[in-house]
């Protein structure tokens, strides 16, 4: 049991928990925005498209009513739409983050490649020597400047 708490402490102190908590809070807040969007705009649109003026009169708002039994397809559709919007946004965020990470990595690589070499390899003895050397300090061979 003591080991469990030690492991938990280590986990909590790594900062992952804070990141995770922030993610959960943002996710919840974002979920509210999306569900309010679907409730306010998309659901009425669905109701409008599905026809409030249907001759049969079986559609009322986001519900089918058959023999007095209501099928609340509106809230099901809005849950599906919520999920799709959140999944799409998360996918885009993930792509953006991955892109930024990749860009940073390639930028660093480029910088490393662009950094001027300060050493060269002596063609006679294969030692690594100063790039400006005209005489190898290892084998004393004369080198072209």
65 closest CA partner among 52, 77, 78, 49: 52
Q: Which stretch binds Zn ion (CB under 5 A): 9-17, 32-40, 68-76, 116-124?
A: 116-124
- 129, two tokens: 């020597």
Q: Which stretch binds Zn ion (CB under 5 A): 8-16, 50-58, 106-114, 128-136?
A: 128-136
- 10, two tokens: 């280590």
Q: How far is the CB of 124 from Zn ion (least distance, A)?
A: 5
Q: Which stretch binds Zn ion (CB under 5 A): 27-35, 85-93, 109-117, 132-140?
A: 132-140
Q: Which long-range contacts (CB under 8 A, 24 or more apart) does 80-85 make?
A: 81/38, 81/42, 82/31, 82/34, 82/35, 82/38, 85/34, 85/37, 85/38
Q: Which is nearer to Zn ion, 40 or 130 (CB)?
A: 130
What number of residues does the chain have? 145
Q: How far is the CB of 116 from Zn ion (least distance, A)?
A: 21
Binding site for Zn ion (CB under 5 A): 122, 124-125, 127, 136, 138-139
């Amino acid at each position: 049991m003591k080991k469990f708490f030690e492991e938990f402490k280590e986990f909590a102190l790594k900062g992952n928990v804070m990141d995770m908590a922030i993610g959960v809070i943002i996710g919840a807040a974002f979920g509210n925005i999306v569900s309010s969007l679907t409730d306010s705009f998309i659901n009425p649109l669905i109701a409008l498209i599905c026809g409030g003026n249907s001759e049969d009169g079986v559609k009322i708002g986001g519900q089918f009513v058959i023999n007095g039994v209501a099928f609340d397809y509106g809230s099901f559709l809005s849950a599906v739409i919520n999920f799709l919007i959140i999944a799409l946004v998360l996918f885009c965020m993930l792509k953006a983050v991955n892109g930024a990470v990749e860009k940073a990595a390639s930028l660093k690589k480029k910088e490393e490649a662009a950094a001027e070499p300060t050493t060269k390899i002596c063609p006679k003895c294969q030692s690594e020597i100063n790039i400006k050397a005209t005489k190898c300090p290892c084998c004393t061979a004369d080198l072209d400047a």
